[in-house]
Amino acid sequence: MFISVIIPVKDRRETLRRCLASIKQSEYPEYEVIVVDDCSLQDCSDLVVEFGFRTVRINQHQGAWYARNKGAEQSKGDILVFLDCDMLIQPDTLFRIHQHFSQNLYEAISGVCGLKTETESAVTRYKNLWMYHSYMQSPRDSDWFIYGMGAVKREVFFELKGFDAGFLTGRGGGDLEFGGRLKAAGKKILLDKELEVTHLQPYTFWGLLRNDFKRSRGWFQLAAQKKMIPRVVKKLRIANIYPAFLFSIFISVILLVSLALSFFNKHFIVLTGLSALAYSIVNYTLFRFFREQGSTFFLLMAIPLSWVDHLISGLGILIGGVSYLGLSAIKLVLKIGSDGYLRKHYHRLINGRTYK
């Protein structure tokens, strides 16, 4: 099988260099690499040619999802591998993907971000460990597609008309939406927990919170728009978000409110302590994982960071819900006005018959 590796990029030249270098070490020879430059200020075509790969230039910024579709249109592979430019693959990554598809059991495959990071930043370490832990808790037969390291059969990708290019980069939701369409079409998605990549993305404190706020808001809006809420409630899961995460958001809010009120009324100190205990119990396996992979000092840093992260994610869900309801109300008003609904039903109410 011939593999096409498609990488969208915008102004990340040195990160792209490291990504391409990792692909060049691949043990599987039958592949091509197409870098889709989404109107970067820094031209990367010379760098791509230096590695012997192809580049496609988009002259007006369209977003990563559009860039991925554009790369797929230019590809020749039987398998399309979508890789973010800040991911480093292993020498056996493409060979492993080839083996899976050769067995013809799955139409799509997702990899995971491994434990290794390129920075000692505590915030980056926290985010990376959280993602890895959530992936390890996820079922092997998946219902979402991880776009940062994911592969899909060519005919299946074009049968579904590719990705929805309307999703904003960084907002989240495109992976859930495409995975939902795959499942609805009866396609199987494998989450290969041993197909690990190294994520080069560094996180600052504010960058982490901004990222998780946007994703929580985007995911909730998507779940509402696609009527996924009943399925989420039934499964108690959306992608790699589990009940413990949702319970943690609820407990975090109680903890914040009780902590603030305890300054005015000492009786709330008890509620604060109970909330903190409940939060620790719900996240026990995650915190134990933090301790195993780091140190006691790292754990003591990660616990309050996790609490703030849950609060921000909850805020994202709230804003996403309000935005969805507001947009739905506007659409309803426009629909009522455009199809003459008010005029028609006004006469039904007044005259007992439909106006003609």
> Residue 154: its pLDDT value, please?
96
pLDDT of residue 252: 95
Tokens 């929805």 correspond to what residue?
164
Q: Where are the domains of the chain?
A: 3-203, 205-350
Rounded to an integer, the average pLDDT of 188-199 is: 93
Q: Determine contact, residues 11/42, Cβ cutoff 8 Å.
A: yes
Phi then psi for 117, rounded to 5 degrees? -125, 160
What's the CA angle centered on 246, arms 241 and 248, to 5 degrees?
115
- Yes or no: is domain 3-203 CATH 3.90.550.10? yes
CA–chain centroid gap for 71, Å, is 20
Indicate whether 170 pLDDT > 70. no
The pTM (predicted TM-score) of the whole model is 0.84
Does pLDDT of 351 surpass 50?
no
- Mean pLDDT over 131-137 rounds to 90
pLDDT tens per residue, range 295-347: 899 999 999 999 999 999 999 888 887 877 777 777 666 666 655 555 555 44
DSSP codes of every residue in 219-239: HHHHHHHTT-HHHHHHHT-BT
**Percent of the chain whose pLDDT exceeds 90:** 54
- The predicted model gives 235-242 an average pLDDT of 67
Query: What is the residue-averaged pLDDT of the chain?
Result: 86
Residue 349 pLDDT:
45
Mean pLDDT of 244-267: 91
* pLDDT at residue number 283: 94
**Mean pLDDT score, 239-256:** 86
Residue 205 predicted with pLDDT over 50? yes
Q: What pLDDT is recorded for position 233?
A: 56
* CB of 178 closer than 8 Å to CB of 69: no
